[in-house]
Amino acid sequence: MVLAADAVDLARAQTAFSLAFHICFAVFGVGLPWMLIYTQWRWLRTGDPVWLALTKKWSRAFAVLFAVGAVSGTVLSFEFGLLWPAFMSKYGGALGLSFTMEGFAFFAEAIFVGMYLYGWKRLSARAHWLTLWPIAISGTVSTLFIITVNAWMNTPRGIVERGGKVVEEKPLAPFTSPSFLPQISHMLLAALMCAGGTVAAIYAVGMLRGRRDAYHQRGLSIGLAVVLVCAPLQLIAGDWAGRNAGDHQPLKLAAMEGLYHTGSNAPFTLGGIYDDKTGNVRYGVEIPGMLSLLEGFSTRHVITGLDSAPPDERPDGTLVHGAFTVMIVAGSALIGLSLLTGLVVVRRRRRGETPLLPTGRPWLIAAAGTGPAAVLAMLTGWEVTEGGRQPWIVGGHMRVVDAVTGGDGAEPIFAGTLVLYLSLAGALVLILRKMATGGPSGEQLRPGLPSGPSIPGAPRPRDGGDGRGTDPTKPRPEQGGDSDGEDGRSGSKESAPAAAYDPAADPAARHTARADQGGHRPSGAQPVLVPDRRPGEPAPATDPTTTRGAAGTSTPASTPAPASTPAPASTPAPAVPSAGEPAPAGERSASPAIPRPRSEPHSAGTSGGGRPGVSLRRGGPGRYGLFGRRHAGKHALPGRRPDSGAHTAGRNDPGETR
Amino acid sequence: MTAADLLLIVMVIGLTAYALLGGADFGGGVWDLLARGPDARDQRKLISNAIGPVWEANHVWLVFIVVALFSGFPPAYGLVGSSLEIPLSAALVGIVLRGAAYVYRAYGAGAAGPDHWWGHVFAVSSTITPFALGVAGASLATGRMSPDDPMEPLRSSFGLGCGLFAVAATAFLAAVYLCRDAAASPATEHLVPEFRRRATGGAVVCGALAMMLLPLFWDQAPVVAHRFLDRSMPLVGLSVIGGAATLVALARRQFVVARLAAGLAVGAMLWGWAVAQYPDLIVGQVTADSAAAPTTNIHAMLYAVAGGLAIVLPPIIVLYRLFTRPEPTT
């Protein structure tokens, strides 16, 4: 059965590859919506264009990631049948409920993603924000359903087989697997960490290149907050998962640890290469008795080793131990960074220093590493779970070799999958990279303007200083007329979907970037992404314009300023100049002057009193706010800004363009 | 009627939804591929705008069918997976490329190659998918498929004909739907005559293909063909009426009516096939009864499906209502 073994390897490789590909997108489907809920909520509350810019940028990235995740997920649902027909024939019934519910969760997600991505102008601001909730919830819930399947494959429950035939399958079997709870908590935290870490990494790189504006600062803060808050929790969840493996899949634990000999006083081994032949780990760091201590709280606790099973029933210790080590190292680094950052934040807060998050170069480099570290840990963690399950496809019930298809088309299909996925991934990286560079809508910092980075503590000189040349896609702001630079760039950076919400662009023009550029070029001159909060500025413009006009009337009435703002906001160029100025005065007090992004009638009522309270409450640790919002207020530079009102006003559409 | 039968009905409903909604998205890709002349760019924009908000939701119907098949009829799914490897892989490639190319074009801003490249990828893959699914569906009716010979579905003239028919039907649906989209906004109204012409042409092609397929159907899928004659004639009648009504409505510029009628034409055809296929899932190999999962599992599935649809249908309706009108421009 040499050929069969090959087929098994190919099928496994194909499944592993497709799953890894899909997971990398799925984690963003879980994590990003929650983060979007936060940023867009902040925008609704404050009208601050920076929040809108973050929201729009992320929603664009989310659109792409979600679509690729959706189609790659479809491939998986087919692959179960194409590659593992025997598995699906036998156990499809037991897994059906989980998959069905996952299907509906995905359904709900897809529906609301459509509404969210294309509904900026069709929905009221609040309704638009509300569509994020079903997206986030169903994204999370679909992870949960899928994990039930995997947990069941690891530790099946609720089926009765007689003579190789399934005679009874409890419909809820997957939900009763003992691995389910630890696995789902471990995975959800991992998903959040991957999404948060990647976001943090992107903004950290941006800041390392000198873009230390409020936009980058906040993007970094949110991402870091997510990844660093989750990291310590992940320690607990991971420990739970490990214990669970020890209880229900002792061989998996043994493989993770590279432990061959069953016995008490089992060592905890980190690193090294497990040698299949000798049963030893070479070059590893061994802590004697630690594993017994961890698992049973006593060095006398007996840990099952790989020697307890015949060789053909052992997982591959080399692979699983290696993956486990990588996961532990990456995870520990994140946890360490989390604790360190926590300490520094507390200290800075006590001293009253302003951005609570340290943004020195080493910190930024560390932050830039969180994304890759989280993704690496997530992928290797999956390798541990799946590799540790071997040789079973359904633990103790069916072997992987018995589940596979015997077809000889496996090789070309696998090769095709590799080529297809890798080229799609390559293209995607290019696209995301382009999205990630530059400011909210692709425009750059303009150090020349009074409104440089307003985050105190950011080393301003750097603004123009670096990033030079490294990135062809970002023209230097300083050179030439701003408008030139901006124009070219805004054209190149903005992308289509933007146009989808862009009032300036013909609705029909949505899909092409060209059209989009056309729409935006005029507004190119409005560049600066600056300041934290420009309350007077109605950037929010986009959606609710029409309705907001109405709602807005009540607001402007109270203060002189932006009576006209809501409308102009949507059509970038003209009207706006009048807007903006007076308002900056500290949005908190002047809140009524802020054109509320919300359009509902009732919002007008709550806006005045409600907002400040909420924003304070949510501001992070104390009033300083992890995300620096307090300072944003403080540093809004009301005095300096007036003349830049025009810029400001025009600028809001970068927001629109996302 | 057993629980398995009920599940089958639910699956055919899902298949109909996929054909009428997701199918039209693929058909839009076909017209993207065939866009010619000075209006080509406008046409592509119209198509892209029309499918943008809904294609992902429409696509989920396929996932729904697959999941229902492997949960409710696991052995059938195992057999389908191993025997229809080639057409299903082709459909998957089409699905992946279509989705990726669509968002890459929409959001990529040229970062990963010019938009029109992705546009072509989108168009070609949109055409491959319905073709491959048509071939796969035909194999279920002929029963000429086995794990030992994955190429077999591609050697059947009836299968290839069904693939073409599927492409034509999706293109027909898309053209009819697009008439309504184009007419909704003054900016795109000039595209209406073109799509009306295409819708008419699509209807004619579908009719002609159906006629040509009949003898092949009789010859290569005799079992289903006999049942078709016995059971499906009323549905064929409905389909013909739907097709004719579509043409009349198009001529009278009643585009909403045309949409419904076109949906009736294609949907009735699909049900005609489904009714004739029953009780076989794969003719000569697997029947609904023999493949059904244990009843308790199917019951659980049905409850889950009912609950899921109850949750999902209202938002679907909202989604479509939301995007029927052109975007507010102010």
Q: Are B296 and B72 in contact (CB under 8 A)?
A: no
Whether omega before A391 lies within 30 degrees of 0, making that bond cis, reads yes
Distance CA A422, CA B96 (A): 12
Per-residue pLDDT for B291 more than 50? yes
With CA atoms as reference, the chain A residue closest to B78 would be A85
pLDDT at B165: 93
Q: Out of A579-583, B67-71, B242-246, pick the least confident.
A: A579-583
pLDDT at B241: 92
| Residues across chain B | 330
CB pairs under 8 A between A and B: 309
DSSP tally for chain A: helices H, then strands E: 23, 8
Q: How many CB atoms lie within 10 A of CB B68?
A: 26
Q: Give the range with max mean pLDDT: A367-381, A395-409, A421-435, A603-617.
A: A367-381
With CA atoms as reference, the chain B residue closest to A507 would be B327
Q: How many CB atoms lie within 10 A of CB A137?
A: 16
For residues A247 and A448, the model is more confident at A247
For residues A354 and B271, the model is more confident at B271
Q: What tokens does B288 get?
A: 């609904």
Nearest to A118 among B53, B82, B115 (CB): B53
pLDDT at A263: 76
Cβ of A431 within 8 Å of Cβ of B77? The answer is no
Show the CA angle centred on residue B195, arms to residues B193 and B199, nearest 5°: 115
Q: Are B136 and B95 in contact (CB under 8 A)?
A: no
Nearest to B46 among A112, A424, A508 (CB): A508
Q: How far is CA B270 from the centre of its chain?
A: 10
Q: Out of A149-158, A497-506, B292-301, pick the least confident.
A: A497-506
What is the DSSP annotation of A261-318?
S-BSSPPEEESSEE-TTT--EET-EEETTHHHHHHHSSTT--B--GGGS-GGGS--HH
Q: Which amino acid is at B124?
A: V
Nearest to B100 among A67, A110, A430 (CB): A67
Q: How far is CA A484 from the centre of its chain?
A: 34
Report the SS3 class of residue A42: helix
Q: Give the range with max mean pLDDT: A348-357, A625-634, B300-309.
A: B300-309
Q: Fold for domain B3-297? A: Formate dehydrogenase/DMSO reductase fold (1.20.1630)
- Give strand pairing partners of A168: A160
pLDDT at A441: 54
Cβ of B72 within 8 Å of Cβ of A96? The answer is yes
With CA atoms as reference, the chain A residue closest to B301 would be A97
Per-residue pLDDT tens for B305-330? 899 889 889 988 888 888 887 776 65
Distance CA B206, CA B211 (A): 9
Per-residue pLDDT for A543 more than 50? no
pLDDT at B132: 93
Interface mutation target, options B41, B54, B61, B63, chain A, most CBs of A under 10 Å? B63
Per-residue pLDDT for A469 more than 60? no
Question: Which residues of B are less than 8 Å from A568 in CB distance?
Answer: none
Share of chain A above pLDDT 70, in %: 64
Distance CA A454, CA A112 (A): 36
Question: Which residues of A are less than 8 Å from B93 in CB distance?
Answer: 416, 420
Per-residue pLDDT tens for B111-163? 777 778 888 888 899 999 999 999 999 988 888 887 777 788 888 888 899 99
Distance CA B14, CA B299 (A): 18
Cβ of B315 within 8 Å of Cβ of A112? The answer is yes
* Residue pointed to by tokens 């486990």: A324
Report which of A202, A135, A198, A194 is spatially closest to residue A382, judged by C-alpha positions: A194
Question: Which residues of A are less than 8 Å from B63 in CB distance?
Answer: 73-74, 77, 103, 106-107
Whether omega before B294 lies within 30 degrees of 0, making that bond cis, reads no
- Give strand pairing partners of A161: A166
pLDDT at A408: 62
Crossing angle for the helix pair B192-220 and B222-231, nearest 10 degrees?
A: 120
Question: Which residues of B are less than 8 Å from A28 in CB distance?
Answer: none
Q: What are phi and psi of A268, to 5 degrees?
A: -100, 120
Distance CA A476, CA A279 (A): 58
Question: Which residues of A are less than 8 Å from B150 in CB distance?
Answer: 407, 409
pLDDT at A596: 43
For residues A203 and A303, the model is more confident at A203
Question: Which residues of B are less than 8 Å from A515 in CB distance?
Answer: 45
Distance CA A109, CA A104 (A): 8
ipTM of the predicted assembly exceeds 0.85: yes
Cβ of A103 within 8 Å of Cβ of B60? The answer is yes
Per-residue pLDDT for B51 more than 60? yes
Q: What is the mean pLDDT of residues A75-99?
A: 80
Question: Which residues of A are less than 8 Å from B73 in CB distance?
Answer: 92
Per-residue pLDDT for A450 more than 90? no
Cβ of B100 within 8 Å of Cβ of A71? The answer is yes
Cβ of B323 within 8 Å of Cβ of A114? The answer is yes
Report the SS3 class of residue A392: strand
Interface mutation target, options A60, A66, A82, A419, chain B, most CBs of B under 10 Å? A82
Burial class (CB in 10 A: 0-12, 13-18, 19+), A433: middle
With CA atoms as reference, the chain A residue closest to B89 would be A413
Cβ of B293 within 8 Å of Cβ of A413? The answer is no
For residues A22 and A283, the model is more confident at A22
Nearest to B71 among A96, A115, A407 (CB): A96
* Residue pointed to by tokens 């429409």: B58
Per-residue pLDDT tens for A30-80? 999 999 999 999 888 888 888 888 888 888 889 888 888 888 888 888 887
pLDDT at B49: 84
Chain B: closest CA distance from residue A430 (Å): 6
Distance CA B222, CA B225 (A): 5
Question: Which residues of B are less than 8 Å from A89 in CB distance?
Answer: 74-75, 77-79
3-state helix, strand, coil in chain A (%, to 5): 65, 5, 30
- Give strand pairing partners of B287: B280
Q: Are A100 and B68 in contact (CB under 8 A)?
A: yes
Burial class (CB in 10 A: 0-12, 13-18, 19+), A478: middle
Q: Which amino acid is at A581?
A: E
Report which of B174, B55, B164 is spatially closest to residue B103, judged by C-alpha positions: B55
The mean pLDDT of chain A is 68
Cβ of B100 within 8 Å of Cβ of A93? The answer is no
Distances in Å between the Cα of B120 and the Cα atoms of A431, A434, A515, B34, B90 are: 18, 22, 18, 10, 17
Q: Which amino acid is at A270?
A: L
Using 50, 70 and 90 to split pLDDT, how confident is the model at A528? very low
Q: Are A196 and A230 in contact (CB under 8 A)?
A: yes
Q: What is the mean pLDDT of residues A398-408?
A: 72
Per-residue pLDDT tens for A575-631? 333 333 333 333 333 333 344 444 433 333 333 333 333 333 333 333 344 444 444
Q: Which amino acid is at A579?
A: A
Q: What tokens does A73 get?
A: 């997920």
pLDDT at A417: 83
Q: Give buried/exposed letters for A262-278 (b at 16+ CB in 10 A, else e).
A: beebbbbbbbbbbeeee
pLDDT at A133: 92
pLDDT at A438: 58
Nearest to B109 among A121, A503, A513 (CB): A513
Q: Which amino acid is at A352?
A: G
Per-residue pLDDT tens for B180-219? 888 888 888 888 888 888 899 999 999 899 889 888 888 8
Per-residue pLDDT tens for A304-348? 777 777 777 788 878 888 888 889 889 989 898 888 888 888 888
Sign of CA dihedral B50, B53, B59, B61: negative
Using 50, 70 and 90 to split pLDDT, how confident is the model at A518? very low
Sign of CA dihedral A147, A149, A154, A156: positive
